[in-house]
Amino acid sequence: QVQLQQSGPGLVKPSQTLSLTCTVSGDSISSGRYFWTWIRQNPGKDLEWLGYIYNSGSTYYNPSLSGRISISVDTSKNHFSLRLTSATAADTAVYFCARGGVDDSRGFFDLWGQGTLVTVSS
Amino acid sequence: DVVMTQTPLFLPVTPGEPASISCRSSESLLDSHDGDTFVDWYLQKPGQSPQLLIYSLSYRASGVSDRFSGSGSGTDFTLKISRVESEDVGIYYCMQRIAFPRTFGQGTKVEIK
């Protein structure tokens, strides 16, 4: 059974970097079959797609994040990570990792992490 | 970005009765190459992560009750629940994946009357 397990701090100070990790169990992150994705949900419950990493290196980010985001992968640990620099209160949200198929017919998000509430506050 | 607009935003429902949620996209979600329509529906139950209900317009995800169905075409889509049960409460989202960045509707909160 494939699972996504998130980890990372729940409190980040303004202007600092938000960092989260999603560990994949039951599947290889290097399979090339999935976009490993980050999505967040603000306190108003809006969902925002942040970006993905694919095939151990290719990335695509939401332009709305103005270059503050990076997603990386560690194949030896079978996990992928999110970094969001220059955090502000607007980045306070529940962050989810998710798996989306590369094949267009399978591009939906069929597996999600448990979510991590990150609060940006001094 | 493709804008997804859901109506209503709040839906009180009666157990055993049908319910429907609408979603409209700012551009067509029909993929001309293979004929698929790239709209999916998710349900976020209280305290949980979103879960996939319907993908590619009308295909039920594994394990999803046949009380749920998706329909529509082009830019207008509907999620229907044939008979609402108490376990169906939560926030329903439509999402497009015809283009990046993926975008979601605002969500429809379904509660029991």
Is residue B5 within 8 Å of residue B24, measured between CB atoms? yes
Give residues 2 to 21 of B whose Cβ lies within 8 Å of A.
Answer: none
**B47 and chain A in contact, CB less than 8 A:** no
DSSP B84: -
- Within 8 A of B10 by CB-CB distance, chain A residues are none
* CA angle at A110 for the pair A72 and B104, rounded to the nearest 5°: 80
Question: Mean pLDDT over all residues of chain A?
Answer: 95
pLDDT score at A4: 98
Give strand pairing partners of B13.
B112
Element (H, E) at B43: strand B39-44
A30-74 per-position pLDDT tens digit: 988 999 999 999 999 999 999 999 977 899 999 999 889 999 999
Distance CA A12, CA A19 (A): 9
pLDDT band at B48 (very low <50, low <70, confident <90, very high): very high
Closest CA to A117 of A91, A99, A98: A91
Q: Which of A45, A60, A108 sits opposite B40 (nearest CB)?
A: A108
